[in-house]
Structure 1
Amino acid sequence: MNRLWPLTARGTGALVLAIACFIVANEVGIHELLYFGMLLLAVLGASIASLYLTRRADTVARSFMPDVASVGRDARVTVRVGVRTAFPTPPGVWQDTLPKGVAGDAQGVFPALGSGLRGSDRIVELSYAVTGTRRGVHPIGPLSVRSTDPFGLARRRNVFGEKTHITVAPAVVDLPALRNFAGEAGGMLHTTTTQLGQGADNLIARPYVPGDSMRRIHWRATAHRDELMVRQEEQESTPEATVVLDRGVLRWAGEAMQAPGADPGFEIAVSAAASVIARLAHDGYAVEVIDSDGTQLAERIDGGDMIEVELVINGFAKLVARRDDHLQQLPRVFSGVMTGPVVVITGRFDTADAAALAPIVHHSTLPVLLTVSPSAGSLERAADLGWRVGRIGEESEIAPAWVNAVDRAAANVLQ
């Protein structure tokens, strides 16, 4: 039945019967049928009127748990509807409009309401689960409620409220921890010891400042200077790592520039980048996230700061490819720098790219290259030049590629 037609199948049958009564009454002359037809029309009119005199929604507010959804994971949507009705209303059927980026069963029974002439708005709370299917920011809504009168003769579809945007972050794959590398211990920073003198008596001392440990007081220097002095034999440092997400459009399909989620290959790369960032930060590394031209994609993440990791991954919800291509100029970013793990994530990759990236190997303790679309022989060439390589053509390949690269590097460390 057309949704613009206000009558249900039962109501349409009643209308047809009323018209038939008028026709038969006119042809046969049975006046009782005329009265019966008029009664049916009156009932239909009253049914339609009852729907338009009741139920009006003034406010519709949606909340999400968690606040940001993730691809492949469930989130709960709660809809709070403020309704004011002059007369009691029967129950109806509600449905929330879902975009292509999320999936779920967003419908249910809208409860019956009593008269609210003397009271404030009634708050009706609806809830349903959704699953993120495409990274990006997607509009949910509006909410519609389909009601029928108590006799089931007429119906009305009310549309309530505005759209509410839900953010869907990339999927994060659980990667195993780094082993036999500094900083792997569950988000704990490691301590390096620098000997600034020879022997305990020759360590350089400095004046005590609030916050220094009392165990580091250098008593001999304190007696000599007549003020509290502390040893400076230890300095805490955070191991550093760099994640490079190559967004050059030449590495991806053209759709990667248009909107998040448009290019499956780029989505795998973004998911891999998010997963590696989470792993390295959890292992205690201070993580820099950059593009292939050295541009920062996020603020530096301190080791173990998983809240900042979550914020960065949520920010990746809007990430798209860019027009230029700077992958072969990436070694300039690491010129004159020695750092920890460097993880490069890219799309199309050939032997010329492998040769161009070779200098980075000498500036990293763990050079890892993950690519979505490598050409024949390109990964072998990169491995010969010192990269720990992996192909991530599918999301299910991210974890195996990471394990293979890390295990190979760990084996080299143990030799």
Structure 2
Amino acid sequence: MTAGGTGAAPGGSGDGEDSSGLRAALAGLTTRGRSFLAAGVAATVCSYVLGQEDLLRVGLLLAALPLVCVAVVYRTRYRVAGSRRLAPPRVPAGSEARVHLRMDNVSRLPTGLLMLQDRVPYVLGPRPRFVLDRVEAGGRREVSYRVRSDLRGRYPLGPLQLRLNDPFGMCELTRAFSAHDTLTVVPRVEPLPAVRLTGEAAGYGDGRHRSLALAGEDDVIPRGYRHGDDLRRVHWRSTARYGELMVRREEQPQRAHCTVLLDTRYTAYQGSGPGSAFEWAVAGAASAAVHLLERGYAVRLLTDTGSSVPGPDGGGGFTGSTHDSAETAGLMLDTLAVVDHSDGGGLSRAYDVLRGGTEGLLVAFLGDLDEEQAAMAGRMRHRTTAAVAFVLDSAAWSRGMPAAGPHPLEERLRRLREPGWTALPVAPGDSLAHLWRQADAQVATRADAGPVIGGMTGSWA
């Protein structure tokens, strides 16, 4: 639960603030209160001009009523605490989150009628307002509302505002708590099928690499037998040498590496909004990264700007052990929630990152490519054991229908396939799960036809 803070009632908070609090109370006169005050002053002036004492009494009553209400609201002093809780704090685009608000009366006096209001961005829906009945001393009130956004991003919630009115509606004062919360709307993740990809080495499947302490059966460094060790791992030669039972060390699986490349160039995409090509690419990158993390891969998210997630802290930006996969997935989704178009400088900076070492699997989500960028993407293939590209057909996305006749996209796909990419076009309405299977089928067909240059046999599952 996130604390919203504790504060004085809207009427005031201390003797040192009497003058400012009184001015704030007078400024809080509603339209009704100002109308009564103006009518009272006008009636008083008319009574003096016309010499009508009865009209003077009416004028004084009309002017005094809003001033009395101001004094009552100003002298109302109690302390309340407000808090906000998001469930959950991270939601996929198009899904709802519930915001729970709680108000605690921490003073010794009961409150009057309160109106609670929370500030939310327009994209999340209308501003929620609640009317709270009298809250007893030490009591609490809990309310909740729902928010939903089709656009990914980070949206601030708060501050929480509390309004105090007098019974006649003459004066209204508002106080705001200082605490804010943030709702993160991440791209929608599509479940992907577990398929096998010829061309990737290492992993947690049948084609995984295994590393021993030293290569060779005779060069294995053994250790002493421990209770519960499998007797089939007993190393008899070392047992005879040391005079005690020795077993081989456990083989350690080597995690497969995968880079998910997202093209964010402004010039590579047409249109905007939840159904645009760029949003499809962002959601596709999120789906691929989460899927591969779940399959035991060490995944790095890379953009055309050269920035990577989880970052260059270790392992070239790849994740570490399998225990941090969930945390890494959350970090990648948080990054993709706010990713925006780049300046369109090209793919050269991403290529510089990739050529720094031998990569594993490369999954790229590319926008519109010119000849130079297609050639740059083709050179990326030489640093990978397998490469799959989903190239968005900008012309089809801009029209909302597949393009008819010859299209430059086919030439770009050919230029990617020549160095060994598995390149598939993406049209509006295409499912990434379906394209995922198509990519596996194409790679398997190429493997049956002949060896893949620079590739090895492994698993993509």
**Residues 161-310 of structure 1: matches in 2 within 5 Å?**
161-162=177-178, 164-181=180-197, 192=208, 205-208=220-223, 213-225=229-241, 226-231=243-248, 234-247=251-264, 251=268, 266-292=278-304, 295-298=307-310, 299-301=317-319, 302-303=321-322, 305-310=325-330
C-alpha deviation, 1:143, in angstroms: 2.6
Distance 1:216 1:88, change over 3 A: same
| 2:414 paired residue number | 381
CA distance in 2, matches of 1:42, 1:190: 87
What are the superposed Cα offsets for residues 60-105 of structure 1, whole Å, 9 maximum, x if unpaired?
4433222334433322333444556786543233221112553355
CA distance in 1, matches of 2:355, 2:171: 71
Residues 73 and 165, structure 2, Cα contact 8 Å, conserved in 1: yes
C-alpha deviation, 1:147, in angstroms: 3.6
The answer on 1:48 being equivalent to 2:81 is: no
CA distance in 2, matches of 1:267, 1:202: 52
| 1:74 paired residue number | 96
SS of 2:368's equivalent in the other structure is strand
The amino acid that maps onto 1:388 is: T
SS of 1:208's equivalent in the other structure is strand
Distance 1:88 1:222, change over 3 A: closer
Residues 350 and 378, structure 1, Cα contact 8 Å, conserved in 2: no
The amino acid that maps onto 1:282 is: E
CA distance in 1, matches of 2:373, 2:224: 51
SS of 1:43's equivalent in the other structure is helix
The amino acid that maps onto 1:240 is: H
- Specify every segment of 5 or more residues in structure 2 that has no aligned partner in the other structure, as ranges: 1-25, 311-316, 395-407, 450-461
The amino acid that maps onto 1:221 is: R
What are the superposed Cα offsets for residues 208-261 of structure 1, whole Å, 9 maximum, x if unpaired?
2688943442353244323444347955232222112234566469x99xxxx9
Residues 174 and 275, structure 1, Cα contact 8 Å, conserved in 2: yes
C-alpha deviation, 1:353, in angstroms: 2.8
| 2:157 paired residue number | 140
Residues 160 and 176, structure 2, Cα contact 8 Å, conserved in 1: yes
Q: What TM-score do you get using the length of structure 1 for normalisation?
A: 0.73
CA distance in 1, matches of 2:428, 2:247: 54
SS of 2:367's equivalent in the other structure is strand
Greater shift in the superposed pair: 32-41 or 261-270: 261-270
SS of 2:146's equivalent in the other structure is strand
Greater shift in the superposed pair: 23-32 or 279-288: 23-32
| 2:30 paired residue number | 7
Residues 55 and 83, structure 1, Cα contact 8 Å, conserved in 2: no
Q: Which structure dedicates a bigger proportion of its chain to strand?
A: 1
CA distance in 2, matches of 1:378, 1:163: 54
The answer on 1:347 being equivalent to 2:367 is: yes
CA distance in 2, matches of 1:26, 1:193: 101
**Residues 118-133 of structure 1: matches in 2 within 5 Å?**
124-133=141-150
What are the superposed Cα offsets for residues 362-399 of structure 1, whole Å, 9 maximum, x if unpaired?
65454221244655434532464343334557687545
CA distance in 2, matches of 1:166, 1:180: 39
Residues 306 and 349, structure 2, Cα contact 8 Å, conserved in 1: no
C-alpha deviation, 1:303, in angstroms: 4.9
SS of 2:258's equivalent in the other structure is strand
Residues 382 and 389, structure 1, Cα contact 8 Å, conserved in 2: no
SS of 1:349's equivalent in the other structure is coil
C-alpha deviation, 1:134, in angstroms: 4.0
Aligned-residue CA RMSD in angstroms? 4.6
Distance 1:216 1:104, change over 3 A: farther
Q: What TM-score do you get using the length of structure 2 for normalisation?
A: 0.67
C-alpha deviation, 1:343, in angstroms: 0.7
SS of 1:76's equivalent in the other structure is strand
SS of 2:221's equivalent in the other structure is strand
| 2:132 paired residue number | 110
Distance 1:320 1:5, change over 3 A: same
C-alpha deviation, 1:163, in angstroms: 5.2
CA distance in 2, matches of 1:223, 1:203: 13
The amino acid that maps onto 1:380 is: L
What are the superposed Cα offsets for residues 270-325 of structure 1, whole Å, 9 maximum, x if unpaired?
33222211011112222122344765331423457223211332244444455573
Residues 208 and 230, structure 1, Cα contact 8 Å, conserved in 2: yes
CA distance in 2, matches of 1:336, 1:84: 60
The amino acid that maps onto 2:63 is: L
Distance 1:87 1:229, change over 3 A: closer
| 2:114 paired residue number | 92
SS of 2:308's equivalent in the other structure is coil
Distance 1:193 1:73, change over 3 A: closer
Q: How many residues align?
A: 394
CA distance in 2, matches of 1:88, 1:294: 59
The amino acid that maps onto 1:94 is: L
